[in-house]
Chain A
């Protein structure tokens, strides 16, 4: 028996997200590395994500937005001149948050203030129902 093999570090986190609070379930996180802590605030028209990143600025973080998810990752500093091995260029942490609704990428905004990154993602307008003509 190898007990070590049975330890799933993300299991506990999943448990936290899956039990108790219903709101936890709506924002499901997928994580890698040692990530900064996040707070998520919701209302009917927007989601606000705060990350605690003391000492970091805009150039240290990379954000990518999908229609219904956002990925926040560390941006490794590129050393001047020398080529670094690929492994060192990988982000030290990255985290993907699934959102409870589709967001409008054009109206999204992110800003650092005193070591806290705030990402504001307004809800996208409901997609119009599209009728599809049947050929033939």
Chain B
């Protein structure tokens, strides 16, 4: 990276599913080894520290995107269970799945 202290907030979506929440963030250029996820209370924090450098001797002829590091904090909804969390980073997309607390899930009530 040209400037290691510069962080960008990734483009991300949080989707609610019946039993879980799914957070998807676009972090192109970031590998698993470059990303750090922290959970503090209800706050999920992502920070990346990739070190990119253009190949030696090459000049930039056109630049439409920057190789940046990403930083993001998300407050998970009250119904989320921060201890039931899984994350994967594939092809520059970070996916975090957080289960809902069982007691908050809708129950079907039989009508007698």
**A residues in contact (CB < 8 Å) with B:** 23-24, 26-27, 29, 37-43, 46-48, 50, 52-57, 100, 112-116
Contact = CB atoms under 8 A, between A and B. Distances in A.
Given A54-B27, A55-B26, A114 B61 contact: no
Contacts of B89: 114
Q: Sort A-B residue pairs by CB-CB distance and give the 8 closest, nearest first.
A: A115-B92, A37-B64, A54-B92, A115-B28, A41-B58, A37-B65, A40-B62, A54-B26
A41 to B, nearest CB: 4
Nearest to A44: B57
Interface in B6-38: 26-31
B28 A114 contact: yes
Contacts of B29: 52, 113-116
Nearest to B90: A55
A84 to B, nearest CB: 25
A62 to B, nearest CB: 17
Contacts of B60: 23, 39-41
Contact of A43 (B28, B31, B57, B64): B57
B55 interface: yes
Nearest to A115: B92
Contacts of A53: 28, 92
Interface of B: 26-31, 54-55, 57-65, 89, 91-93
A114 B62 contact: no
A92 to B, nearest CB: 17
Contacts of B93: 54-55, 115
Contacts of A100: 61
Nearest to A45: B57
Contacts of B26: 54-55, 115
Nearest to B65: A37
A47 B55 CA distance: 11
Nearest to B54: A41
A27 B30 contact: no
Given A52-B28, A54-B27, A39 B59 contact: no
